[in-house]
Amino acid sequence: MLKLDAFLIEGGRKLKGSVRISGSKNAALPCLFASLLTDDVCVIENVPDLRDIRTAVALLQQLGKKVVRKNSRVEIGPARRLQHHASYDLVRRMRASVVVMGPLLARLGKARVSLPGGCSIGARPINFHLQAFKKLGAAIRVEEGYVEATAPVLRGRRIRFPFPSVGATENALMAAVLAEGKTVLLNAAREPEIQDLAECLRSMGARIHGHGTGTIVIDGVPSLHGTRHVVIPDRIEAGTFLAAAAITRGRLLLRRVNPAHLSAVLNALRRAGLRLEVGRSEILAAWTKPLRPVSLKTRVYPGFPTDMQAQWMALMATVNGKSRITETIFENRFLHAQELLRMGAAIDIRGAAAVIEGGRRLSGCPLMVSDLRAGAALVLAGLAAQGRTKVLRVYHLDRGYERMERKLRAVGARIRRIAQ
């Protein structure tokens, strides 16, 4: 049962203090799934405590793995008998579950995974994943809502992605590490989460080069061994707290971050006029003067991340002047705009672009969260708004932000969770 909690926010407080950034959700998920590639023990550290991670652990357990979780450390032991079937019940809760397909196919020669919700037959939203498996020699069948891949042997090939998809790159990478011969992934995703997965796989004995560039070369090995891997910091959580400092005219020190992963976000904030001091693993963000509007387009890494687009819109809604945000990665990712309008923002959606007439006073009201990052944007807007904001459907936020309200409260926000 989903808990229908809400956040109550009293806006208008400047945030001040320091925040410890958690491990990256999007890096932790594929690293946890990489444990399917071996029977040895894998220890994954700096794993955030989130709903998506709990779903991943449940999925690993359903596949037969023994999983022990202690704080941010997850230990995955051998499977009594590794299963090849990922049920609808778990995949529908989290799209990223489809990334078990590559490792299962590599280990067992078969994988049967529910198609994520919203997919039509033909599986368009995971078509790049499936095309990669086919290239490696798998036969693909879609039946009764499940996609089944079978391949007695996987053989290394050159695979060119039509788009540098993060999930498809992860799936192909994990299928290729145990394939016979050399695989070359062209137009591969370059996101830090891919680099982290590749490092995790290398620490298990995989032979991978070029991760972090658009061409990843994998020399297949017969088997992988266990590992202990520490997940990278969450660049989107970090970006969200930087936006929180900016929108509340506050001053926050972010600890345990990797500033190199945040360059596009830091550049945008600098252009807006936020003062930033960047250390090795810390960032100090301080509001010192009214910010300027900054227009941007979302891009694949190292461009401005689509997962920060909603938060940027909330910030721009509070900044005097006109800005334009263009979403180039996802077609329908402006659902937060409708809610921001209800708070008094002036935003005009024109296809893939949103034009924001910033600087109107936002006022608190009940808001409905439609997805994870939209939820983050609404919390930010609530922190800046006058009066009380009630953010409904907080379960979306619980998928990706570890103890968000506690972290915000610790730096001076008036926010609390209430049961509905």
Question: Quick one: 167 or 259, whose CB is closer to ligand UD1?
Answer: 167
Assess whether 119 carries a catalytic annotation: yes
Residue 198: other Cβ atoms inside 10 A: 25
Distance CA 205, CA 226 (A): 9
Site for ligand UD1 in 280-309 (CB under 6 A): 306-307
Q: Kindly indicate which of the ranges 32-40, 141-149, 160-168, 199-207 contains the residues binding ligand UD1, using the contact rule CB under 6 A.
A: 160-168
The reply to whether 126 sits near ligand UD1 by the rule CB under 6 A is: yes
The reply to whether 129 sits near ligand UD1 by the rule CB under 6 A is: yes
Distance CA 346, CA 357 (A): 5
SS3 of 1-57: CCCCEEEEEECCCCCEEEEECCECHHHHHHHHHHHHHCCCCEEEECCCCCHHHHHHH
Selected from 139, 158, 163, 361, the binder of ligand UD1 by CB under 6 A is: 163
Instruction: Measure Cα distances from 369 to 174, 229, 302, 372 in Å.
Output: 33, 33, 28, 8
Q: Kindly indicate which of the ranges 162-170, 201-209, 237-245, 266-274 contains the residues binding ligand UD1, using the contact rule CB under 6 A.
A: 162-170
Q: Which of 31, 42, 119, 200 is the catalytic position?
A: 119
Residue 250: other Cβ atoms inside 10 A: 20
Question: Quick one: 128 or 334, whose CB is closer to ligand UD1?
Answer: 128
Site for ligand UD1 in 317-336 (CB under 6 A): 329-330
Selected from 13, 46, 51, 128, the binder of ligand UD1 by CB under 6 A is: 128
State how beta strands 5-10 and 321-326 pair.
Answer: unpaired
Selected from 166, 175, 262, 308, the binder of ligand UD1 by CB under 6 A is: 166
Distance CA 43, CA 372 (A): 27
Alpha-carbon 184 to chain mean position: 25
Site for ligand UD1 in 21-40 (CB under 6 A): 26, 29
- Sheet of strand 158-160, all strands in order from the earlier edge strand to the far edge: 158-160, 182-186, 216-219, 207-209
Question: Quick one: 133 or 287, whose CB is closer to ligand UD1?
Answer: 133
The reply to whether 165 sits near ligand UD1 by the rule CB under 6 A is: yes
The reply to whether 389 sits near ligand UD1 by the rule CB under 6 A is: no
The reply to whether 121 sits near ligand UD1 by the rule CB under 6 A is: no
Residue 331: other Cβ atoms inside 10 A: 9
The reply to whether 113 sits near ligand UD1 by the rule CB under 6 A is: no
Distance CA 170, CA 147 (A): 17
Question: Quick one: 9 or 243, whose CB is closer to ligand UD1?
Answer: 243
Query: Active-site residue numbers?
Result: 119
The footprint of ligand UD1 (CB under 6 A) covers 26, 29, 95-96, 125-129, 163, 165-168, 193, 306-307, 329-330
